[in-house]
Structure 1
Amino acid sequence: MSIKVEQALISPRYLAGPGDPAWVTAALHEGAGWSHGHDPLMPRVVLTSPNQKSTLRLEPDLNEPWWHLSHHDGRTGSVWNASFGGGTPVELIAAVTDALTDPDYHARKVADPYQSLRRARWDAAPNGQFSSPDGRVTGERFNFSGSHSWRITATLDEDDPVWHAWFSAGTPPVLVAAFMQALADPEPVRRSHEQTIGFPRRRITLRWQEWPAERVARALPERIEHLAARRLNTPPPTLPTPPPAPRRTR
């Protein structure tokens, strides 16, 4: 007889609590090939992309965002960063890092990052402000010299923020769109007993369900395997066609 464990199915997902950071960090390291520094005296994780252009830093801080994703491309001059508070569900952050590490990332074009919000019947105004149907998530878009930045806040009550997310000017719209799509996804997220202890249960729907322990244990390894396969199946870059060899003359 297989062993079963209980997991909580929580919705809306944006109020489900942070979850397991490995859903992001282990996936980037083992699945997407990001290297990590190791400082046993500091409670932080620093991961760097294979091309050295992107960095993810996870550093618990009571007064600052815990997650920092930054990008700097010296060749193109592209610079942007995103940050997420410690209470941000890892599924939302993973949507951004998964989009960033997608082999087709540079080819994907997004005209409207709010499209998934509108499909989910969120209120999205022309000026860039938006809110969830229950009013627990609000966001706004800022315009700086034609470049947009975004700030998103989730709250339990009017003066009780759960997390903030920020995307700087220059952040590729495909990454913002990935975050918005995960934000509006009606699918509940799973949390273990330990991950629900002490977390406020106001404004959420929580349902316990039994799952085979082996299936629960395989969720993260399967995610890593999927990302690794996606990376390894990337076709090699197209090399420029060499000029024809000069013709020999007599």
Structure 2
Amino acid sequence: MSVKVEQALISPRYLAGPGDPAWVTAALHAGAGWSHGHDPLMPRVILTSPDQKSMLRLEPHPNEPWWHLSHRDGRTGSVWNASFDGGTPVELIASVTDALTDPGYNARAISAPYQPLWDAGWNSIRNGEFRSPDGRVRGEHFNLSGRRNWRITASLDEDDPVWKAWFSSGTPRVLVAAFMQALADPEPVRRSHEQTVGLSRRRITLHWQEWPAESVARTLPERIERLAARRASPPPPAPPTPPPAPRRAR
């Protein structure tokens, strides 16, 4: 007789609580080949991409974001960063890191990063701003010192933010779009008993369901295996360069 464990299925996912950080960190290390530093005296994790251009830092702090993702490419001059508060569901953060580590992410053309929100029925307040149908998530694409940045906030009430996410100017649109897609995804996320402590039951839908313990234990290893297999596959070809316009005869 197989052993079963209870897990909660929670929606909307943006109010499901942070979850297990390994969903991001273990996947980056074991599935995408990011190296990690080791400092047993510091409560932090630092992961660096194989090409040394991207870095993820997870460092608990009471008044600042816990997650910091940064990128610097000396060859192209590309510099950008993203940050996420400690209460941000790991599934949302993983959507960004999964998109970044996709071998073909540079080949994807994204014109409107917030299109997944419109497709899911989210509401536009005014140009550059949006909110979820329940009003719990608000976002804006705003100008700061001449640069366009993204800020998304999830709140239980008007003045009670649960988490904030930030994408600086220059963040590839495909990464912002991946976050928006995960944000609007209606699929519930799973949480263990201890991960549901402190959640506002008035704002979420929560159903307990039994799962085989072996299946639950395999969830993260299977995710890592999928990412590793993707990394081993050749990236899709870049979109073809349009031919030059014909010259006019003089």
The alignment's TM-score, normalised by the length of structure 2, stands at: 0.92
Taking structure 1 as reference, are residues 223 and 64 closer, same or farther at Cα in structure 2, changes over 3 Å only?
A: same
Q: Which residue of 1 aligns with 2:220?
A: 220
Tell whether 2:88 aligns with 1:88. Answer: yes
Cα distance in 1 between the residues matched to 2:110 and 2:205? 32
Deviations 1:135-158 (A, max 9, x none): 000000013587521000000011
Pairing of 1:39-78 with structure 2 (within 5 A) = 39-78=39-78
Q: Which residue of 2 aligns with 1:132?
A: 132
Q: Which residue of 1 aligns with 2:230?
A: 230
Q: Which residue of 2 aligns with 1:185?
A: 185
Contact (CA 8 Å) 2:107, 2:236: kept in 1 or not? Answer: no
Query: In terms of mean alpha carbon deviation, does 218-227 or 139-148 score higher?
Result: 139-148
Deviations 1:71-111 (A, max 9, x none): 00000000000000000000000000000000111111100
Letter in 1 for 2:155: T
Q: Which residue of 2 aligns with 1:19?
A: 19
Cα distance in 2 between the residues matched to 1:130 and 1:78? 27
Letter in 2 for 1:83: S
- Give percent identity, aligned residues only: 80
Contact (CA 8 Å) 1:156, 1:202: kept in 2 or not? Answer: no
| Structure 2 alignment gaps of length 5 or more | 239-250
Letter in 1 for 2:135: G
Q: Which residue of 2 aligns with 1:202?
A: 202
Letter in 1 for 2:103: P
Cα distance in 2 between the residues matched to 1:84 and 1:43? 17
Contact (CA 8 Å) 1:114, 1:124: kept in 2 or not? Answer: no
Q: Which residue of 2 aligns with 1:165?
A: 165
Pairing of 1:111-130 with structure 2 (within 5 A) = 111-125=111-125, 127-130=127-130
Tell whether 2:34 aligns with 1:34. Answer: yes
Q: CA deviation at 1:234?
A: 2.3
Deviations 1:196-224 (A, max 9, x none): 12333231000000011111100000000
Cα distance in 1 between the residues matched to 2:106 and 2:220? 26
Cα distance in 2 between the residues matched to 1:155 and 1:169? 24
Cα distance in 1 between the residues matched to 2:197 and 2:172? 36
Q: Runs ≥4 in structure 1, deviation > 4 angstroms?
A: 144-147, 235-238
Q: Which residue of 1 aligns with 2:150?
A: 150
Taking structure 1 as reference, are residues 235 and 204 closer, same or farther at Cα in structure 2, changes over 3 Å only?
A: closer
Q: How many residues align?
A: 238
Contact (CA 8 Å) 1:103, 1:234: kept in 2 or not? Answer: yes
Q: CA deviation at 1:159?
A: 1.1
The alignment's TM-score, normalised by the length of structure 1, stands at: 0.92
